[in-house]
A and B are shown apart, each in its own frame.
Chain A
Amino acid sequence: MAGKAIDLIRQGIRILQKAEDSVLIGLLLLMVFIAVSQIFLRNLFDSGLSFGDELIRVLVLWISLMGAMVASRNNSHVNIDLISRYLPGHIKKFSTVLVGFFTSVICALMSWFSFNFVMMEKSEGVIAFSGIPAWICESIIPVSFAIISIRYLLISFATFFNSYKQNV
């Protein structure tokens, strides 16, 4: 039973990772394409997509947060790490569990408060650009932090049960 549940989680993680990769790659290529078309349109035809510049800026936010999500798969975010490299094995394991849990809680809080913000913008009907509601552009913030939070919780658990394989 437990084995089945774990298999299901593993499969879910794989699907999520594939989806993240595809979206991330698609967004970057889209950004390059729109940015270059804007330059051509502006210089050759003195025109441009009315929503182009805003869209590119929102893409920067999405790409950053998606990149950050991917970085948390194997905990490859920048850290200071002055103490932990000198800790003996079992204490280091304990501190990894603790740090993972801390990060997870912080990201959960961040996700919750940004979710509130997005809902507020939705109910006020704020428009970002060209009729696109602001809350859609902002929605990546709570979503990405929720996923980062889950990942660090998994890293924390898996480290505790000694089954962390560097990729969740």
Chain B
Amino acid sequence: MSILLICIIILFAFLGAPLFSIIIAAAMTGFYFSDIDLSVMAIELYRIADTPILIALPLFTFAGYILSRSNTSERLVRLTQALLGWIPGGLAIVAFVVCAVFTALTGASGVTIVAMGALLYPALKQAGYKDNFSLGLVTTSGSLGLLLPPSLPLILYGVIAQQMDAGQAVSIEKLFIAGILPALLMIVLLSLWSIWANRKTPVPLTPFTLKNVLATVRESIWEIPLPVFVFTGVYSGYFAVSEAAAVTAMYVLIIEVLVYREVKLSDLSGIIRESMVMVGGILLILGVCLAFTNFLIDAEVPMKIFNACKIFIGSKFLFLILLNIFLLILGTMLDIFSAIIIMVPLILPIAQEYGVDPIHLGIIFLANMQIGYLTPPVGMNLFIAGYRFNKPIIEIYRATIPFMMVLLLAVLIITYWPWLSLVFIS
């Protein structure tokens, strides 16, 4: 009977039933056969209201959606070009930095490629970069900056780890600190590759002039404080993450609607609805997954998987290799939020048995998922780019693969060199 039910649930999952309903069905089946009253589902779901850090999610997402609707992206490009445009590699490097910062500012909610791509792709081509290179670059950059604060996926990882015995020491602040060097590594490797790939293409540089810098600074004067107080507030511990989120949301609302006046008051209701639909989708899955996770832990499923793994996987090294492969495949099938919510409760206890630090695991997890966005056949960035730039998907695959290889190298370094993630965490 229970096996039949499980088969039906799996069938519906593959037929495309909403993920939250699949998880509810699985959790209810589990609780039913363990003779637990099913109103426990509501108790578990209510835990969304008992987790203070989750406040950050709607607030950062809201701020990110407003930023993506205003001209912040254009000002950010001009400012970065004035500051960094003189570096060999020119606009390509500017593009990586800009995308990383913008992804971080918008909490890695997936709006970068939409807001930045349309801006950078023509600019890169105009500057003399090859079409293929430019296309690959903007597609790749859409998920760069995933490891920088206030990355929502990183917050989500922290929330889930804290719900489990295994990861109680995983604070969001520590995760943010751990993400800095790996994020820089990705940006540096991609930049080096861009310089090398364009060694035969003459690329114009923007000379550094104080006048130019001052002009672009004046233009962005209201937005410059934003990363400053998010980064310093969170890193110094002066602000709690949720407080930083509240201030960011209010500040962005005021400057974009009242100071720059690029977001009309009448557009605000649509922006709020769109951003909260995304938040609702994520938190609903999180809420029902808390119930399912509880069932799995009661049934000691992670321990059972670990015991089965022990037979085949003898060393931490082998475990990490398999973890990389597994996460890369997972990243092509699930969006990053669902993947974190569903897989972290299973993988975290197992990884700890193999001696992987929970904070390092978080960075590995996200770095892998970032590549999943770009992996053919179904990586999400590929589709967004194809749709946005009106290119056949095969062309996007071909353009993106070199960048993906560079990121893959970065992920391997991040995975097998824990120092990079853990050096600033005592």
- Co-complex (A, B): yes
A residues engaging B (CB < 8 A)?
A: 21, 24-25, 28-29, 31-33, 35-36, 38-39, 53, 56-58, 60-61, 63-72, 75-85, 95-96, 98-99, 102-103, 106-107, 109-110, 113-114, 116-118, 120, 137-138, 141-142
**Are A64 and B287 neighbours in the complex by a CB distance under 8 Å?**
yes
**Are A117 and B43 neighbours in the complex by a CB distance under 8 Å?**
yes
Is B262 among interface residues, defined by CB-CB distance under 8 A? no
Of the A-B pairs whose beta carbons lie under 8 Å apart in the complex, a sample of 25, sorted by A's number, is: A28-B276, A29-B272, A32-B249, A35-B242, A38-B246, A39-B243, A60-B55, A61-B48, A61-B49, A64-B58, A65-B284, A67-B279, A67-B281, A77-B18, A78-B335, A80-B333, A82-B333, A83-B14, A95-B15, A107-B21, A113-B38, A113-B42, A116-B39, A117-B42, A141-B46
**Are A31 and B58 neighbours in the complex by a CB distance under 8 Å?**
yes
Alpha-carbon distance between A81 and B410 when the two chains are bound, in angstroms = 30
**Are B49 and A137 neighbours in the complex by a CB distance under 8 Å?**
yes
Alpha-carbon distance between A67 and B287 when the two chains are bound, in angstroms = 13
Alpha-carbon distance between A60 and B21 when the two chains are bound, in angstroms = 20
Contact with A along B48-85 (1 / 0, CB 8 A): 11111011011100100000000000000000000000
Contact with A along B239-253 (1 / 0, CB 8 A): 000110111011001
Is B283 among interface residues, defined by CB-CB distance under 8 A? yes
Contacts of B337 in A (CB 8 A): 78
Contact with A along B25-59 (1 / 0, CB 8 A): 10010000000001101110110111110110111
Is B144 among interface residues, defined by CB-CB distance under 8 A? no
Contacts of A29 in B (CB 8 A): 272
**Are A64 and B280 neighbours in the complex by a CB distance under 8 Å?**
yes
**Are B16 and A76 neighbours in the complex by a CB distance under 8 Å?**
no
CB proximity to A under 8 Å, residues B329-369:
333-335, 337-338
> Given A95-B16, A99-B17, A102-B12, A63 and B38 touching (CB < 8 A)?
no
Is B176 among interface residues, defined by CB-CB distance under 8 A? no
Query: Which chain B residue lies CB-closest to A56?
Result: B55
Is B188 among interface residues, defined by CB-CB distance under 8 A? no
**Are B284 and A28 neighbours in the complex by a CB distance under 8 Å?**
no
Alpha-carbon distance between A118 and B46 when the two chains are bound, in angstroms = 11
Partner of B280, one of A70, A79, A116, A142: A70
Alpha-carbon distance between A143 and B413 when the two chains are bound, in angstroms = 49
**Are A35 and B287 neighbours in the complex by a CB distance under 8 Å?**
no
Is B258 among interface residues, defined by CB-CB distance under 8 A? no
Chain B nearest CB, measured from A49 CB (Å): 14
Alpha-carbon distance between A137 and B47 when the two chains are bound, in angstroms = 12
**Are B277 and A84 neighbours in the complex by a CB distance under 8 Å?**
no
Is B285 among interface residues, defined by CB-CB distance under 8 A? yes
Secondary structure of the A contact surface, majority rule? helix
**Are B39 and A117 neighbours in the complex by a CB distance under 8 Å?**
yes
B residues engaging A (CB < 8 A)?
A: 12-21, 24-25, 28, 38-39, 41-43, 45-46, 48-52, 54-55, 57-59, 62, 242-243, 245-247, 249-250, 253, 268-269, 272-273, 276-281, 283-285, 287, 333-335, 337-338
Given known contacts A67-B276, A70-B276, A98-B15, what 17 new A-B pairs fall within 8 Å (CB)? Answer: A21-B273, A32-B59, A32-B249, A60-B58, A60-B283, A63-B276, A65-B284, A67-B284, A68-B284, A70-B277, A70-B280, A71-B280, A78-B20, A102-B21, A103-B17, A103-B21, A141-B42
**Are A28 and B335 neighbours in the complex by a CB distance under 8 Å?**
no
Alpha-carbon distance between A40 and B273 when the two chains are bound, in angstroms = 27
**Are A83 and B48 neighbours in the complex by a CB distance under 8 Å?**
no
Contacts of A113 in B (CB 8 A): 38-39, 41-42
Query: Which chain A residue lies CB-closest to B239?
Result: A39
Alpha-carbon distance between A71 and B14 when the two chains are bound, in angstroms = 20
A-B pairs with the 8 shortest C-beta distances?
Answer: A67-B280, A114-B42, A35-B246, A77-B18, A64-B283, A117-B39, A68-B280, A117-B42
**Are B280 and A25 neighbours in the complex by a CB distance under 8 Å?**
no
Alpha-carbon distance between A151 and B143 when the two chains are bound, in angstroms = 33
> Given A78-B335, A80-B13, A84-B16, A32 and B280 touching (CB < 8 A)?
no
**Are B269 and A21 neighbours in the complex by a CB distance under 8 Å?**
yes
Contacts of B16 in A (CB 8 A): 79-81, 83-85, 95-96, 99
Chain A nearest CB, measured from B146 CB (Å): 18
**Are A102 and B279 neighbours in the complex by a CB distance under 8 Å?**
no
**Are A103 and B39 neighbours in the complex by a CB distance under 8 Å?**
no
**Are A114 and B280 neighbours in the complex by a CB distance under 8 Å?**
no
Contacts of B62 in A (CB 8 A): 28, 32
Contacts of A33 in B (CB 8 A): 250
Contacts of B287 in A (CB 8 A): 64
Alpha-carbon distance between A106 and B17 when the two chains are bound, in angstroms = 11
Chain B nearest CB, measured from A64 CB (Å): 4
Alpha-carbon distance between A26 and B287 when the two chains are bound, in angstroms = 23
